[in-house]
Amino acid sequence: MPGVEHFLLGEAQALQADLVRVRRELHRVPELGLDLPETRRVVLRELAALGLPTVCSEKTSGVLAVLRGESPTVNPAARKRILLRADMDALPILEAVPSEFASGHRGKMHACGHDAHMTMLLGAARLLSAQRVKLAGDVLFLFQPGEEGCGGAKVLLEEGLIEREGPVAAAFALHVEPSARAGCIASRADALMAAADSFAITVKGKGGHGSQPHLAVDPIPVACEIVLALQAMLTRRLDATDSSVLTVTQIHAGTTTNVIPAEVQLQGTLRTLSAESRARLFEGVKRVVHGVANAHAAHAELDLQPGYPVTRNDPAFTQFAFAVSRELFGAAFISELPAPKLYAEDFSYILEKIPGAMFFLGASPADGESHPVHSDKMRLDETVLCRGAALHAALALRFLAEVR
């Protein structure tokens, strides 16, 4: 299919003004979790303009749109489907950068770029709708809520929404990276992002007067020792070549200056890149928490909550996507990551079921300092919206055309 991808890039650039309009509209109405009524209304309106059939999730605000290819080369008995996914939800962050399209929902912000992800996927739907006679199969456009901790992808899989049209041959997603040069494409085969788990620890002692610690069981030094012991355990009991992270992010205790509290609460996150290190880290946390507490005549309660699994790219599809990206943008804009990132993603649930990949799209703004995702100052270079739309479309068109 020579030239198709470059044709799509030109078509996407012609949509740039519309893409900016949609992205800014979505940016104004950030919503959290699985229930995103305003966001879904915008998505459904844009899809309705294309005449695409849609199915709405009954448990969430998720939407699946289906584009049926009309190429005469399609073999009905071997019809393929590719899934393109965008996440929809925002974060509980107060936006710090004023703009004409700043969040209209105080304390909520699209600080992870999901407004851009939806916009690029809507752009791809427009591009591919115009190419349906060349599509040798079906394209599924999935708009998925609840990525920021609610596991929306898992909910939609369990609901049956993702494969309601039949088995899906491949899945692809893009994630903007505002700390990387605008327009650059990056990813890697196999582990791309980490498993993310959380923990909560309650250290229970015996309260008392601040002047008489010998009559109390002070949980504060016990909690402090647990934090330090967890860090030592991580560096001494886990293989340094199998990256793992343990971070205590919250400590809560006490009410005033002269009272020893009865308990301390700690919370944090665990990040691992393999099932083996995940299991070892869980076991080590249990041993350290209870061992340190017992050594000081205190009692500890531990709640370990498994979260998203490792985001693991299919090697063959990753190389396929790299090849299409090079043809579309040129080799100077493509890079293979040397190591995984310790972010986490619920697209991992989809990649456990369907071979595919997630790629990063650089979006550092040209005018001013860049800020990472989840920052209250995060901004994007909107010129990358057309590039993301074109890449989605090119991958679908090429994948469905190739005999596999």
Q: In the chain, what are the domains?
A: 4-192+310-401 (3.40.630.10), 195-305 (3.30.70.360)
**Hey, what are 150's tokens?**
């609610």
What SS3 state is found at 271? strand
Q: For 4-31, how does the pLDDT look when each residue is reduced to its tens digit (9 = 90+)?
A: 567 899 999 999 999 999 999 999 999 9
- Rounded distance between C-alpha atoms, residue 150 and residue 349, angstroms: 12
Of 197, 218, 203, whose CA–CA distance to 289 is shortest? Answer: 203
| Angle 299-301-305 from CA coordinates, rounded to 5° | 160
CB-CB contact of 301 with 204 (8 Å)? yes
CB-CB contact of 343 with 192 (8 Å)? no
CB-CB contact of 293 with 203 (8 Å)? yes
Lowest mean pLDDT, pick from 116-125, 229-238, 390-399: 229-238
Please provide the average confidence, as pLDDT, over all residues in the chain.
95
**Hey, what are 142's tokens?**
């999935």
DSSP string, 121-172: HHHHHHHHHTTGGG-SSEEEEEEE--TTTT-HHHHHHHHT-TTTTS--SEEE
Reported confidence tier of residue 241, pLDDT bands at 50, 70, 90: confident
pLDDT at 4: 55
CB-CB contact of 52 with 142 (8 Å)? no
pLDDT at 1: 44
Q: What is the mean pLDDT of residues 239-256?
A: 92
pLDDT at 195: 96
Q: Is 100 exposed, middle or buried (0-12, 13-18, 19+ CB in 10 A)?
A: exposed
- Rounded distance between C-alpha atoms, residue 349 and residue 153, angstroms: 6
Q: Is the pLDDT of residue 404 over 60?
A: no
Instruction: Write down how long the chain is.
Output: 404
- Rounded distance between C-alpha atoms, residue 32 and residue 97, angstroms: 20
Reported confidence tier of residue 275, pLDDT bands at 50, 70, 90: confident
Q: What is the mean pLDDT of residues 76-90?
A: 91
pLDDT at 403: 54
CB-CB contact of 143 with 88 (8 Å)? yes
Q: For 321-360, how does the pLDDT look when each residue is reduced to its tens digit (9 = 90+)?
A: 999 999 999 999 999 999 999 999 999 999 999 999 999 9
Q: What is the mean pLDDT of residues 378-390?
A: 97
pLDDT at 72: 80
Rounded alpha-carbon distances, angstroms, from residue 136 to 55, 166, 171, 205, 366: 22, 16, 16, 67, 39
Q: For 146-201, how does the pLDDT look when each residue is reduced to its tens digit (9 = 90+)?
A: 999 999 999 999 999 999 989 999 999 999 999 999 999 999 999 999 999 999 99
pLDDT at 28: 98
CB-CB contact of 258 with 317 (8 Å)? no
- Please state, for a pLDDT cut of 70, what percent of the chain lies above it: 97
Reported confidence tier of residue 237, pLDDT bands at 50, 70, 90: confident
Q: What is the mean pLDDT of residues 270-292?
A: 95
Rounded alpha-carbon distances, angstroms, from residue 27 to 101, 114, 185, 243: 7, 9, 23, 35
Q: Is the pLDDT of residue 273 over 80?
A: yes
Q: Is the pLDDT of residue 302 over 50?
A: yes
This prediction's pTM? 0.92
pLDDT at 79: 84
- Rounded distance between C-alpha atoms, residue 205 and residue 79, angstroms: 64
Reported confidence tier of residue 74, pLDDT bands at 50, 70, 90: low
* Residue with token string 């370990």: 304
Q: Which value, in Å, is the radius of gyration of the alpha carbons in the chain? A: 24
| Count of alpha carbons within 13 angstroms of residue 375, beta-carbon side | 13
Question: Which H helix or E strand runs over 67?
Answer: strand 63-68
Q: What is the mean pLDDT of residues 87-99?
A: 96
- Rounded distance between C-alpha atoms, residue 153 and residue 85, angstroms: 10
CB-CB contact of 298 with 216 (8 Å)? no
Q: What is the mean pLDDT of residues 305-314?
A: 96
pLDDT at 6: 79
pLDDT at 41: 98
Go through 289-323 and write b for each residue having 16 or more CB atoms within 10 A of its CB, e for each that does not. bbebbeebebbbebeeeebbbbbbbbeebbebbbe
Q: Which residues contact 7 (CB under 8 A, 6 or more apart)?
A: none
